[in-house]
Every structure is written in C-alpha cells, then in structure tokens.
Amino acid sequence: MVVFFDPKGDADMLKRMYAEAKRAGREDEFYVFHLGYPEISARYNPVGRFNRISEVAGRISGQLSGAGNSAAFKEFAWRFVNIVARALVELGNRPNYVQISQFVQNIDSLFLDYAEKFIRKTDPKIWENLATIAAGLDEKALPFGMKDRPLIFVINKYIAESAVFDPILQGLASAVRYDRTYFDKIVASLLPLLEKLTTGKISELLSPDYADILDERPIFDWESIIRKRGIVYIGLDALSDATVAAAVGNSMFADLVSMAGHLYKFGTNDGLPGAFKEKSKPVKINLHCDEFNELMGDEFIPLINKGGGAGIQVTAYTQTLSDIEARIGSKPKAGQTLGNFNTLYMLRVKEPATAELLTKQLHEVTIKRSTVTSSTTDSSNPDDDKAFSSNTGQRISESTVPMLVPANITNLPKGQAFALMDGSKLWKIRMPLPAVDKDDMMHQSLRELTDYMRKNYHVVENWWQPAFTEYTPSRDIAEAFEAMSEPQYKTQIDHQVDNFGIDEPYDIDEEENDE
C-alpha cells in the first residue's frame, strides 16, 4: 500500500503516480483525493471511522490553538464536539463535519431528538405528556434563557427532578442550559474552522452522503484501502487554504494512528469471515509526505513513533530544519520528531544548520598528511669542490577531521545526495533525474487525466470493489440473532413526577396477566 501526501497538489506528481500505477497493472486500485479538483476526487470522511468515540472530538479540536488563554476554549470545544458526536452515534448517525457544525450551532434540535428517543424508549406516554405540558406553559413565566424553548425547559425539569440518568442526555442538557450568547463565545474558535471545512464543494468531499446513489465518486476509508493494498494520492491544495489543508491532513494522520492501533491488535482481516482461523500477514503501509512541515501536528508524532508495529513506514520530505521548528514552534519537539526517523537522505541544501543535521551524526576520521620538505645549503669553503648541498624529505603525520563538513552538502550537484543508513553507514549516491520524454502511460495534461478518470468513475466495478464479498447468514443464524434481540423482561415503572402531574402508568396488559 502506498499513500502520497502532497500539500501543494502537484499535477505532475498526480499524473506520474497514475502512469506508474497503470504500468504496474494496478489502475483499478488507484485513488485520488484532491481538494483542488473535487470533480475527480474520491470522498473521505475524516471523522467517520474511529475506535473510540472521543477520537472525533480530538481530531477536530486538535486543529485549534492551545497556547495561552486559548487552551480553555480548546477544552470547551472538545467537550461540546464530544457531546454532539456521542449523541449522533447513539442516534444511529455517522459523524461528519456538516452534522457537527450544524448541531454545535443549534444543539437544541439534537437535544430534543435524543431526549425523545430516550424517553420514548422508557415510556412513550411520558414524552406525550411532556409535550402537552410544554404547549400549555406561559412563556412569560419561563426563565430568560428559556423564553422561546418551553419544551426544552420542561424536559430539563423532568430530568432534574426524576431518577433519569444518561451520560449523553445529561451532557446535552447541560449544553442547552447555557445562555446562547455565552455559548457562542466559548465555541467562537471552533466555528470558523468548521465553516472552512463545510463550505462549497469541499463539503461534499469531507462530509459524503452515503445514501446518495447518484454520486458515483467512491468513498474510501483506510481500512478498505489497506485490505486492497491500494495506491492513494492526497492533494491538499495548501496554496489555496492552508488551514483546511492542515486540518484535513492531520485528521488523516489521526485516523491512520487509530487504524494502526487496530491493526496492531487485531490484524487486517478483523471482522471478516474466517479471520480467526489464520493470522493475517501485516500489510506494509508506505506513507510519503512531501513538505511534511506543512502537515506537522500532534497527530504526526505518534504515527512515526508507534506506527512501525503496525507496518507503517513514513518517508518525509522537507527543505530545511527551520521549516519544522517554525511549524511546531518548539525546538525540542522538532528534535523529537526527527529522532524517530532511522534513515536520512540529504540532497543539496542551502541552510548550514540543516546540513549539520547530517554532519553532526558522523564520527571523526583519522587522516594521514604527507609533507615534502627540501632544503639547500651553500658551501662557505672556497676550496671545497661542492658549491652547495641539498636534501629532500617526506614527513607523514596523522590528524583527526570531520568526515563531512556542511560545505560538502551545500555544494552538492543536482541529482546527488548523501545517505545515512542503518544507523551510521554513510553512502554517497547519485540518482537519475526524471525524464521529460513522452510516456505512453502518462497523460499530456491534467485535463486529459481528469476527463479519463471522470469517465472511469461511471464504471463502478473498476473503482470501488468491496473489500470483501457480501456475507448472507443462514436462516438458522438469522432466527438465533432475532431471538437474542428480543427483550427478556420489561421493566415496570411506578414514578410520580413532582409539580408536573405526569403519571408513568403500569403496563395494563402485564397487570391483567398477573391477576
């Protein structure tokens, strides 16, 4: 499996990857996710897959600044996104940016939907009585924050005075009790980010409609890509909007970290029929991150630190060491990131500090210096036959010098590099430059490629083969699951809500049967 992250969205790189995938006979396993070309891009939900529901809030709030006073607002944003995500999953919905943005701005509707489901599950008549009471309330008598929300006031009152406890319902209830102005202030840093992620055609890519059968652009997730050993090009179009590019890239990294943990524990065939019979071989996941300083975030460090156990190999490309430090804002953290890479390739660089990243890792070497000396001496004796005498000598000495100095790297010719491999083995390498000759596999322009890919999207079997075949259980298994899903007993409720006159009645049929 190969994934290439390209913050700029280089069209030449996209064409080259497509040509090589086609040359290798893997054209049907090639996927493009490009924020700059949504018409040919596959779709991807950055928060749609998770091992723990709290990951959704972490992937979104992780893009917010946590420096200084912003830390408190970041924690508030995490809490409210977590409340919304938990409620969405409990209601049977897959979280996405559009839904989270919608309910963060209007959490009342989510509270009512979840409260109705929870209360109706207990007893439908209670919900009907609450709605009747809310309809008869005088709004003038309600607290200021509940003037236009009588039903929410009644439900909050019911929750507070009854023995009802549900973590999700309690979290939603605490959120709707906030004054609207105060609520807008504490999530002020979150809303601009969500607006950027849900505006225009990008919204269709990042919040795909799984039920829209007319949209034939494939929806991928890392689990299916890993099982198919796919090839993925990720174009983040950072030149147009760096914030969105960083948010999407870091969410993908966080998703990959979560997926790596799942693969490490359960393997690639977890959940498939027959997976328990034999242990699946780990899939090598090769990530290539161009200008990875643009993608750097807290999500990237655990990916390179702990992803090796799940078969993830990261190759990162950057121009200078200062780019990494400027992005992270911390020199020790930049050193922590670089310390997780085992192999270093360095082409010509212009910053001496970047060159020293390689030269300081090399040991000094002992060299021998050869010095030739010669001298002549005139004769002072006029009677001597020798007018002068001369001698020549060679002196050999040893000295310790660095194996390389920064100047050796800053003056490298194009196409040459030094490689530090296997800990301390230094290699001088030369590489062929990309040819500009005509390639029958490569389209001459990106327009040709997009036209071809757009046509190919209509052949669904070529683009989106399922990761595994459909599994249809036998009739006996289906009947067994239906029997397991039937409730074993019904809980009787005998509860009087003070100040409301809401009786929660017994089940009449059960009383008659008991008699």
- Rg, Å, the chain Cα set: 33
Q: What is the pLDDT of residues 84-140, one digit of tens each?
A: 999 999 999 999 999 999 998 888 899 999 999 999 988 888 888 888 888 888 777
Mean pLDDT computed over 314-321: 91
Q: What is the pLDDT of residue 307?
A: 80
Q: What is the pLDDT of residues 143-202, one digit of tens each?
A: 777 777 888 888 888 888 887 788 999 999 988 888 777 777 777 788 888 988 898 888
Beta-sheet strands, E only, within 48-141: none
Of 200, 201, 190, nearest to 40 (Cα)?
201
Q: What is the pLDDT of residue 493?
A: 35
Decide: 316 and 341 in contact? Cβ < 8 Å: yes
Q: What percent of the chain has pLDDT over 70?
A: 82
The DSSP H or E segment spanning 85 is helix 70-90
Comparison of pLDDT for 221 and 141, the residue scoring more: 221
Q: What is the pLDDT of residues 335-373, one digit of tens each?
A: 888 888 889 999 999 999 999 999 999 988 998 888 888
Residue ranges per structural domain of the chain: 1-38+213-343+422-471, 45-207, 356-421, 475-514
Task: For residue 367, report the phi and psi dihedrals to the nearest 5 degrees.
Answer: -120, 155
β-strands 416-421, 344-346 pairing: antiparallel
Q: What is the pLDDT of residue 251?
A: 85
Structure tokens at 495: 């509860």
Confidence label for 45 from pLDDT (cuts 50, 70 and 90): very high
Of 339, 383, 377, 376, nearest to 357 (Cα)?
339
18 HSE (CA, 13 A, CB side)? 24
Long-range contacts formed by 19-26: CB under 8 A, 24+ apart: 19/439, 19/441, 19/442, 19/443, 20/441, 21/231, 22/441, 23/441, 26/231
Q: What is the pLDDT of residues 396-405, one digit of tens each?
A: 988 899 999 9
Mean pLDDT computed over 427-431: 93
Q: What is the pLDDT of residues 368-378, one digit of tens each?
A: 888 888 888 88
Q: Coil, strand or helix: which one is 145?
A: helix
Q: What percent of the chain has pLDDT over 90?
A: 22
